Structure 1
Amino acid sequence: MSITGSISPMSLGATLYIPCMRGDLFGYVLGPRRPAGLRSVVLCLEDSVREEDLPMAMSHLSVFLRQLLARDAAPADPLIFIRPRSAVMLEHILCMPGIEHVDGFVVPKAHADTLPAYLALPLHDRHRLMPTLETREVCDPQEMRRFRDQLLAVQDRILALRVGGNDLLQAMGLRRNPHRTAYDGPLGSVIAQLVAGFAPWGFALTAPVLERYADTALLREEVMRDIEHGLMSKTAIHPSQIPIIQNALAAEADEVEEARLVLAESSPAVFGRDGVMCEPATHRRWAERLLERAAQFGIADALVLRA
């Protein structure tokens, strides 16, 4: 499989979901209404659109794609993904003029029995997929192993796996406590299980949305927990969440220095730093990811100095 271009999952940052019911999609994504710092966006035709409103939403998407076709891409443009309702809908979307200029698609309700229909479609070489893990199959380790084996055969096509927190809780008949992070309830163990089941095989995972978007302190706390689990991108449902998420993803200066020492050719096999053991053979991957994070989102102390 030949995939054109290279996108780092970490470059997604805070991925803003925008329902296709909005009339001026171009204005929100690439025009005057575009939120500051927007790195990636998902134009949603699934749960955020009522069934009876689908014709209007599809019309809005078609207009957006034609506007996209009529302009030249710019380096600062956000990554653009579309979330269809089904493989049948995506087959129709793939026929729309301008579709070759989007970066890919979010696959809803993804598991081993639903993904083959999407993979069979005539995707453009540049199109990357982000399957969303949000059905009851996620809670079955055997099903997730079956899904992982399927994904390994098309790994170049998979940019990241998105964790659909609200849908997973819905499958359990629950809703998260509005005053606690996703990791303080049953969702926490599910996320940890998914990280253990996919990250060692080279798959990136993204963190679920915090629906209480006005609680900035809770959002910062949850991003810290996301980072502990290796989730370096997070779904956003409100523009105000974007700078909070991306500032929280900035690397600490002390960690950056430690990562550089771990990767230095002159470093010994094992050394101590501020009372902490560092072992390049086992800490190398962490160090590489930490420095990529610093390159993408900056160094926290430096951000404070510039504020």
Structure 2
Amino acid sequence: MIEYVKLGATLFVPSTHKNLQQILTQEKYPNLKSIVIDAEDGISEDDLLYAKQIIKDTLKNYQKNSLSVFIRPNDPNTLKEFLSYKNIDKVDGFILPKFSLDNADQYLDLLKNTKHNFMPSIEGKELFETDDLKVLRKKITEYKDRVILIRFGLEDMLRQLGMKRTCEYSIFDYAVCSSVIGNFLCVFKSKGFAVSGGVYPCFKDKDGFIKDLKRDLKEGLFTKTVIHPSQIDLVHEIYKVTKEEYKDAKSLLEASDAVINLGGAMGEVKTMSPYAKEIIQRADVYGVL
């Protein structure tokens, strides 16, 4: 399975985008680490047949490279169609949009006998119901070695709450959103699932985007869905680790004692080792400041 730490900035590109081929061959955005070819929200209903044909034609001559490529169908029926396409085994997996109690079994039955990785995206009423989230978690637990991470629909959450965020605030500045995301993290991260950061819609606001990324990291969210190529390098720069973080992580992983001194703070080796491992992975992929 692809390690979630390596996804970095994940660019969502409508399958009808004029530059799709150049992006897939890494002619454009060579620093991009992962892409989602979108056949869902980025495509109008009238264009869906055309969008599916483009994906089918693209796969016929697709040559795998270092770019991690995922496809987002608009529902289980479209996923079933995509799974029949030539060379579909060359893509790295799928985003499962609007993953819910109503369609989870359909999605999972389709993927059961494949080797594809996938990322469920929970976007509906289940976001607000802890018991429902736990049911979904149980359904995907047997596929844990193929679930790269879990996604949540940030804009879908706001829609259901009748809210609209503005660029001046972090999503965590809204009490109800912070509560929902915190609960989501508790349900999934406590069982070893990674969770991706949500979309930052204000793509012209560089400072706001950087603030949003740093808050994601603080809250335990990693990888970032981006909607504009200008955000790619910003993500990868913020994902670099500091020399202090790297030094502490190395100390924790190499320690022979159960408790060590981390710059004047207590470092419990056993409890902090998952954090330390992620820091080292980030350093390997993105570098040290």
TM-score class, shorter:
over 0.9
Deviations 1:255-282 (A, max 9, x none): 110111111133x322323321111122
Displacement of 1:150 after TM fit? 1.0
Kindly indicate whether the alpha-carbon contact (under 8 Å) linking 1:161 and 1:206 is maintained by their aligned counterparts in 2.
Answer: yes
Q: What amino acid is the match of 1:203?
A: F
Question: Is 2:81 the counterpart of 1:92?
Answer: yes
1:99-178 correspondence runs (5 A): 99-121=88-110, 125-178=114-167
Question: Quick one: structure 1 residues 82 and 134, their matched pair in 2 at CA, closer, same or farther if it must change by over 3 Å?
Answer: same
CA distance in 2, matches of 1:168, 1:288: 32
Partner of 1:205: 195
CA distance in 2, matches of 1:130, 1:297: 22
Instruction: Name which of 22, 29, 35 aligns with 1:41.
Output: 35
Q: What amino acid is the match of 1:218?
A: G
1:42-61 correspondence runs (5 A): 42-61=36-55
Displacement of 1:122 after TM fit? 5.2
Displacement of 1:220 after TM fit? 1.0
Seq. identity, %: 30
CA distance in 1, matches of 2:177, 2:70: 25
1:241-256 correspondence runs (5 A): 241-256=231-246
Kindly indicate whether the alpha-carbon contact (under 8 Å) linking 1:134 and 1:168 is maintained by their aligned counterparts in 2.
Answer: yes
2:110 is paired with a residue of what secondary structure?
Answer: coil
Displacement of 1:60 after TM fit? 1.4
TM-score w.r.t. length of structure 2: 0.95
Displacement of 1:161 after TM fit? 0.5
Deviations 1:91-139 (A, max 9, x none): 1111111211101110011123311101111567431110102112111
Instruction: Name which of 2, 5, 10 aligns with 2:5.
Output: 10
CA distance in 2, matches of 1:123, 1:93: 15
TM-score w.r.t. length of structure 1: 0.90
Question: Quick one: structure 1 residues 31 and 233, their matched pair in 2 at CA, closer, same or farther if it must change by over 3 Å?
Answer: closer
Displacement of 1:31 after TM fit? 4.6
Partner of 1:304: none
1:239-278 correspondence runs (5 A): 239-266=229-256, 268-278=257-267
Structure 2: gaps (5+ residues): none
1:47 is paired with a residue of what secondary structure?
Answer: coil
Displacement of 1:250 after TM fit? 0.8
1:240 is paired with a residue of what secondary structure?
Answer: helix
1:156 is paired with a residue of what secondary structure?
Answer: coil
Partner of 1:193: 183
Structure 1 stretch 273-282 or stretch 201-210: which is displaced more? 273-282
Question: Is 2:18 the counterpart of 1:29?
Answer: no
Displacement of 1:164 after TM fit? 1.5
CA distance in 2, matches of 1:292, 1:124: 30
CA distance in 2, matches of 1:98, 1:188: 41
Moved over 3 A (4+): 122-126
1:206 is paired with a residue of what secondary structure?
Answer: coil
Partner of 1:235: 225
Partner of 1:65: 59
Q: What amino acid is the match of 2:138?
A: D
Deviations 1:54-82 (A, max 9, x none): 121112111211120xx3x33xx211100
1:278 is paired with a residue of what secondary structure?
Answer: strand
Q: How many residues align?
A: 288
Kindly indicate whether the alpha-carbon contact (under 8 Å) linking 1:26 and 1:67 is maintained by their aligned counterparts in 2.
Answer: no
Kindly indicate whether the alpha-carbon contact (under 8 Å) linking 2:158 and 2:164 is maintained by their aligned counterparts in 1.
Answer: yes
